[in-house]
Amino acid sequence: PSVLDSFALLSGQLNTLNKVLKHEKTPLLRNQVIIPLVLSPDRDEEIMRQTEGRVPVFSHEVVPDHLRTKPDPEVEEQEKQLITDAARISPDVAQKQIQSLNKMCSNLLEKISKEERESESGGLRQNKQTFNPADTNALVAAVAFGKGLSNRRPPGSGASVQSGQPGAGAIIAGASGMQQVPMTGAPAQQQPMLAGVQMAPAGQPGKE
């Protein structure tokens, strides 16, 4: 009987508490200020679990920071000063300042985006290949091994030498391994050189 009497008493108190909390005039508990009743410098595992490891202890050092409802006095003074200065500015001046600030921000954003585009384009130009590997390999093979070059000489490249001239065969034989050197002057006056001797063009008498 004593247990039943205690249970009935507790049940009645809980029902009364629920009625009080559900009453429309009762303020919400989430709007109430939490007052710490017990402060301990020891590590509290329950607080660690509830705060996901951010608050290991609930001591006199951390309580003012975690239960503060107002900013620091210095920050509060600065906020009051800013509010006072803002109240002194007329709406027209404030609108002009807002437009000026928006313009500065838009210009800064444009510059940043332009720098980003230039850096991206510069990176693409650096990575872009400026030559054709196939053409390069073909040129190297032609210069080093003569690959792809024709053995047939173009018409008119060699000097016309009459077979009746004495020593013409020797001159041609000696000039087969020599390089043709053009003479300075007008292009029409350039004459082919064989073995360092200027040959007369066809149809003109040789000079003595």
Does any domain span residue 176?
no
Which residue has better confidence, 149 or 176? 149
Query: How far is the C-alpha of 42 from the C-alpha of 54, rounded, in Å?
Result: 15
Q: Would you state the pLDDT for residue 21?
A: 84
Structural domain containing residue 88: 71-120
Mention every residue, 6+ apart, whose C-beta is less than 8 A from residue 148: 138, 141, 142
CB atoms within 10 A of CB 25: 5
Q: What is the model's pLDDT at position 126?
A: 65
Number of structural domains found in the chain: 1
Tokens coding 125: 């130009």
* Tens digit of each residue's pLDDT (9 = 90 or more) over 81-139: 999 988 888 889 889 999 999 999 999 999 999 998 888 877 666 666 677 788 888 88
In a domain, 82, yes or no: yes
For residues 3-9, give the mean pLDDT: 92
- Segment 29-35 shows an average pLDDT of 74
Contact 189, 183 (CB under 8 A): yes
What confidence score (pLDDT) does residue 124 get? 67
- 79 lies in some domain: yes
Assess if residue 208 is contained within a domain.
no
Q: Mean per-residue pLDDT for 31-58?
A: 83
**Secondary structure class of 27 (helix, strand, coil):** coil
Does 16 have pLDDT greater than 70? yes
Under the banding of pLDDT at 50, 70 and 90, the label for residue 22 is confident
Output the pLDDT for position 83: 92
Flag whether 168 is in a domain: no
Evaluate whether residue 114 is within a structural domain: yes
- pLDDT for 51: 85
Does residue 102 fall inside a structural domain?
Answer: yes
Asked whether the predicted pLDDT for residue 193 surpasses 80, the reply is: no
Residue 170 above 50 pLDDT?
A: no
Distances (CA, A) of 193 to 70, 167, 172, 205: 103, 16, 11, 17
Who wins on pLDDT, 19 or 121? 19
Give the Cα-Cα-Cα angle 33, 29, 38 (nearest 5 degrees).
Answer: 50
Least confident of 3-7, 16-20, 42-46, 159-163: 159-163
Asked whether residue 51 is domain-assigned, the answer is no
Is residue 41's pLDDT more than 60?
yes
